[in-house]
Structure 1
C-alpha cells in the first residue's frame, strides 16, 4: 500500500472511486476535474490517495485556509476497508497540515453516514454538540447528487 499526495493526474481514478460508493455526495462544479484542479493548486501537499498495485483504493481531499484544516470526501473502496487505510490517510493529511502550521482540523459527516461516523469516533475525533453548521449557496448550479 502506498499513501501519497494526490495530483490532478489521479482525478479519473479518484472520481471513479467516489462514484462507486453508495450514498457519496458529488457536487457538479466543485467535484468536476476543473474544481478539483483548482482545489489541488490551492492545497498542493495536503490531499492524499492510497494506491495498491497501481489502483487508487482510497482518497481524501484536504485543505486549509491558513487557520483550520478541513477534510472532504474521505473514502476507501468497500473491498479495501478495515485494513487501516483510512486511518493512514488521515494521519498523512494531519502531518501535512502540521507542516504548514495548522493546529486544528474539522470535517463534516452526513448524519446518515453510519460507517463514516463510526470511523471518526473509532479513531478519536470529537463530535461537536456545541455549535450549529450554516452554509450559503453562491452558485445554484453546484448541485449535489448522491450515488445510489
Structure 2
C-alpha cells in the first residue's frame, strides 16, 4: 500500500457541507435530525473552535471528527474516514490531534460512544488503547422528540 499524503486541520464552519456529505456516505452512520443540522453543527464548532478535526486528501475532506469539551471532559462525535481512504492512519492521526487540542484546554479525559453493531469502529478504539467500560451504563433523555437518529443504509 502506497504511503498516503493527507493534511489535518481544524474544522471550520465552512466545512459543513463537505463534512455532512462525508457522514452521509458512511454505511451505518447515525445522523440526528436536529443536532446534526447545519445550524447546530456550526454552533458546536463556534463553541469548540480548536478541537474538531478534518483530514484532507486529493483536494477533499476524507475524514472528520467533531470534538468538544464541557470544561471537565472531552467528547468525540461522528469520527469517520471515507471508506476509500481507510487504513492510512488518518483516523488515528485525527484522534491524536483532537486529544492534543483537548490537553491544551486542560481536559484530562475523553469519552465517545460507539454503537455495539459498529464492529469496525469498536475494533479501532480498542486497538488505539481506549478502555471499554463495563462498570457503567449510558443513559440519555430526549428533550426534543423531533431530534431522531437516522442510520445510513
Shorter-normalised TM range: over 0.9
Query: Which deviations, in whole Å up to 9, do the C-alpha atoms of 1:59-98 show, x marking residues without a partner?
Result: 0000000000000000000000010000000000000000
Alpha-carbon distance, 1:8 to partner: 1.0
Aligned match of 2:8: 3
Question: What's the counterpart of residue 3 of structure 2?
Answer: none
Matched residue pairs, number?
148
Name the counterpart of 2:67. Answer: 62
Q: Which residue of 2 aligns with 1:87?
A: 92
Aligned to 2:54: 49
One of 34, 41, 44 as aligned partner of 1:36 = 41
Give the Cα separation in 1 of the matches to 2:128 and 2:110.
Answer: 14
Using the TM superposition, give the Cα deviation of residue 136 of structure 1 relative to its aligned residue in structure 2, in angstroms: 0.3
Q: CA RMSD in A?
A: 0.5
Q: Residue 2 of structure 1: CA displacement?
A: 0.5
Q: 2:129 aligns with which of 108, 124, 127?
A: 124
For normalisation by structure 2, the TM-score amounts to: 0.96
Picking from 125, 138, 141, the partner of 1:136 is 141
Gaps of 5+ in 2: 1-5
d(CA) in 2 for partners of 1:84, 1:53:
16
- The CA deviation at 1:3 is 0.3
Give me the whole-angstrom Cα distance separating, in 1, the residues matched to 2:64 and 2:28.
Answer: 16
